[in-house]
């Protein structure tokens, strides 16, 4: 399997969770409550899986390999992705802080929770589209099958060290549970 396929597959889980948190933020925005733990869990998912594991694979392995092949970091697509990763981290920090306050019953956190969540959703959807439609096809063009295999192995190592055995499955189960909950809101 190509390493870029692994990243595209992970994008599917991230996009599913983005839909969940967008629905939760819209519900909060309309004055309705949401299960407090939902946004705490979502913030942890985005920090640990989307950033720690997924972006860790990109920043630690894929991007440097692409730069070695002549794809510019500064002023190029890799640099843009790195800037967006940093921007996303700021939104996730804000989301997590507001989610913790909301979970403690602090209703003054609602606006920060909604704003950080919706800003993160917008950013990450556009970011994922750029990676899937521009950056990953570029990588597929310049990387040999051997390089893709080396990246795949490196990704496996990152997955085991950053999230641990069974964490991907736990996150996917959590996403499924929250998707079911959100579907019942309609």
pLDDT, position 162: 72
**In contact, 20 and 35? CB cutoff 8 Å:** no
- Distance, CA of 23 to CA of 85 (rounded, Å): 23
Out of 50-54, 89-93, 110-114, pick the least confident. 50-54
Out of 51-55, 162-166, 169-173, pick the least confident. 162-166
How do residues 133-161 score in pLDDT, each as one tens digit?
A: 999 999 999 999 999 999 999 998 888 88
Question: What CATH class does 3-183 carry?
Answer: mainly alpha
Give the start-to-end residue ranges of the domains of the chain.
3-183
Q: What is the mean pLDDT of the chain?
A: 93
Overall pTM surpassing 0.75 (yes/no): yes
CA distances from 5 to 58, 61, 156, 176 (A): 12, 14, 13, 22
pLDDT, position 175: 94
Q: Is 119 left (phi over 0), alpha (psi -120 to 50) or beta?
A: alpha
């Amino acid at each position: 399997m190509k390493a870029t396929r692994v990243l595209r597959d992970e994008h599917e889980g991230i996009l599913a969770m983005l839909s969940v948190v967008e629905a939760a933020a819209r519900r909060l925005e309309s004055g309705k409550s949401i299960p407090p733990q939902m946004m705490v869990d979502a913030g942890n998912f985005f920090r640990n899986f989307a950033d720690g594991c997924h972006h860790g694979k990109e920043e630690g392995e894929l991007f440097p390999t692409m730069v070695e092949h002549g794809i510019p970091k500064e002023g190029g697509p890799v640099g843009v992705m790195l800037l967006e990763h940093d921007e996303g981290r700021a939104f996730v920090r804000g989301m997590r802080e507001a989610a913790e306050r909301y979970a403690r019953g602090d209703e003054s956190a609602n606006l920060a929770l909604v704003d950080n969540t919706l800003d993160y959703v917008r950013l990450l959807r556009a970011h994922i589209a750029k990676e899937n439609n521009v950056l990953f096809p570029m990588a597929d063009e310049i990387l040999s099958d051997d390089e893709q295999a080396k990246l795949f192995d490196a990704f496996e190592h990152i997955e085991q060290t950053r999230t641990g055995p069974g964490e991907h499955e736990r996150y996917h189960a959590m996403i499924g549970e929250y998707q079911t909950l959100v579907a019942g809101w309609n």
